[in-house]
Chains A and B, each alone.
Chain A
Amino acid sequence: MSTTTFGLTLLIVGMGGTLVTLAVIAGCLRLLTKLFPAENSDSDRSGGPGHA
């Protein structure tokens, strides 16, 4: 395999794969936080300022 083919394959599949996989994980995380919403209990944590 030529170095050009190698480089382009890794660029397209690698960078593209990273973007797509992280987008999928982000989608799963949204679903996760909807399935298990915080209920303002002590065990739930804030993603904002003031969180220790």
Chain B
Amino acid sequence: MLDAILSGLGGLGAGAQYLLAQGGPNVIMLAVAGVMFYLAIAKDVEPLLLLPIAFGCVLANLPLSELMGEGGVLRTLYNFGIGNELFPLLIFVGIGSMTDFTPLLANPRLLLFGAAGQLGIFFTLILALALGFSKEEAVSVAMIGACDGPTVIYVSNLFADLQKIPTAMVGALAVAAYSYMALVPILQPPIMRLLTTEKERSVKMPSPKGKVSRTALVVFPLLVTAVTGLIAPQGLPLMGMIMLGNFMKVSGVVTRLTKASENEIANISTLFLGLAIGGTMNGHEFLKWHTLLVFGLGLVAIIVDTAGGILLGKVWYWLSGGKVNPLLGAAGISAYPMAARLVQTEGQRWNKHNFLLMHAMAANTGGQVGSVMAAAIMLSVLKGLGIL
């Protein structure tokens, strides 16, 4: 009888005993989760993602709960929506239905900023390979330069599924991607000022004149989907979903589906994705030197993305005889609409009469298309090389 009572009591407090005995890494990750809570709640830094990720991290690092074990709720969520790439793709439908491509269609040349804004992906890939990451790890880390959480999760999970990268790395990449996206207002302005002169920053651009027909808006997502499917079919799930969302929006005939995509579907997917990603952040697997390098490389990717866009802007400024403001290049990343608003703010700092917002929105939506296209092309090339 006494033995039974003592055995039963032994089951209580097992988690605390584990933490005291060998849970150092778990305690560190609990502190990391605390930092994420602070950023999300007190500083409003990407709360929709960081809060569930942080909570998932807490659940994964309170030991012996089996939440990430077979049949555990976090494992179930992971298998249900990340292992098969479902959640990132559903979020993309929501993103597509929330994006207005009208400014881009009014000035399609600005799509080129969306291409230049992906330079960080390829630069970081080379750097990661030089630092000793495997090919698959380097590609996954480089995707932080896409500045797009679902894209990063989608690509890295393809490799995690093939066991070419550790599952814990997916969590690190997602946290890095979302954190740096939120830090764009801090990271970009110094680079914008470093790479441009005051004269260039002050270039006043005329208000965009072009109107866009509803037919063009409706054909646009179909066109982009078809081009992606023909040139880079491995990326069609990504591009197809974002264009589906946009197609539903511009068709104007499925308002209920559009609203559901923007709200219920996107919100549920975001919650479950965040929890499941947080669940991969167990301290014993997450806290490795590789993880720190991932964060460092992610920072490099965003910086080079911004620099790439601005450098194209400078070339365009020179070729146009000073008519194009190079600051627009900074909007060629996928952080929509934050990057566009930042270009507007920065442009007005140097010329109060300058309204760059609609041009920047065109470049920013171009960045969204560009980031997904870069991922699509990368995946297709990897398929061609036999790596996927």
B86 within 8 A of partner (CB): no
Residue among A6, A11, A24, A38 making CB contact with B135, cutoff 8 Å: A6
Contact in complex: A19, B112 (CB < 8 Å): yes
CB <8 Å contact, B211 and A38: yes
Chain A residues within an 8 Å CB radius of B102: 45-47, 51
Rounded to whole Å, the gap between the CB of A21 and the closest CB of chain B is 6
Partner of B227 from A6, A15, A21, A51 at Cβ < 8 Å: A21
| A/B pair count, beta carbons within 8 Å | 153
Tell me the residues in window 3-28 of chain A with beta carbons closer than 8 Å to chain B beta carbons: 3-4, 6-11, 13-15, 17-19, 21-28
Q: In the bound complex, do residue B213 and residue A37 qualify as a contact, i.e. CB atoms below 8 Å apart?
A: yes
Q: Is the CB of A26 within 8 A of B111?
A: yes
Interface size class of B (residues with CB under 8 A): 35 or more
CB–CB A45/B355 < 8 A = no
Report whether A46 and B227 are in contact in the complex, using a CB–CB cutoff of 8 Å: no
Known: A47-B105, A48-B358. A25 touches B227 (CB 8 A): yes
Complex CA distance for A44 and B250, rounded to whole angstroms? 11
- Given A18-B115, A18-B118, A22-B366, answer yes or no on A48-B377 (Cβ-Cβ < 8 Å): no
Q: Would you call A45 and B212 a contact (CB within 8 A)?
A: yes
The secondary-structure label for the interface of chain A is helix
Q: Which of B52-60, B74-82, B121-129, B278-286 contacts A (4 or more CB under 8 A)?
A: B121-129
Given contacts A14-B377, A22-B373, A29-B220, contact A38 B111 (CB under 8 A): no
Which residue among A21, A26, A35, A46 has the maximum number of chain B CB atoms within 10 Å of its CB? A21
- Residues on the A chain within 8 Å of B385, using CB: 1, 6, 9
Q: Nearest A residue to B226 by beta-carbon distance?
A: A28
* Known contacts A9-B381, A51-B102; is-contact A22 B112 (Cβ 8 Å): yes
Residues of chain B within 8 A (CB-CB) of A3 are 129, 135
**Residues of B close to A7: CB separation below 8 A:** 125-126, 129, 138
Interface presence of B374 (CB below 8 A): yes
Give the distance in Å from the alpha carbon of A47 to the alpha carbon of B378 in the complex.
31
Complex alpha-carbon distance, A32 and B373, angstroms: 20
Contacts of B139 in A (CB 8 A): 10
CB proximity of A12 to chain B, nearest CB, Å: 9
How far is the CB of B22 from the nearest CB of chain A, in Å? Answer: 36
Tell me how far the C-beta of B372 lies from the nearest C-beta in chain A, rounded to whole angstroms: 10
Which residues of A does B touch, CB under 8 Å? Answer: 1, 3-4, 6-11, 13-15, 17-19, 21-30, 32-33, 35-40, 43-49, 51
Could you list 12 further interchain pairs (A-B, Cβ under 8 angstroms) beyond the known A19-B112, A25-B223, A25-B224?
Answer: A3-B135, A6-B129, A9-B385, A14-B378, A14-B381, A17-B232, A23-B112, A35-B216, A39-B213, A46-B102, A47-B212, A49-B358
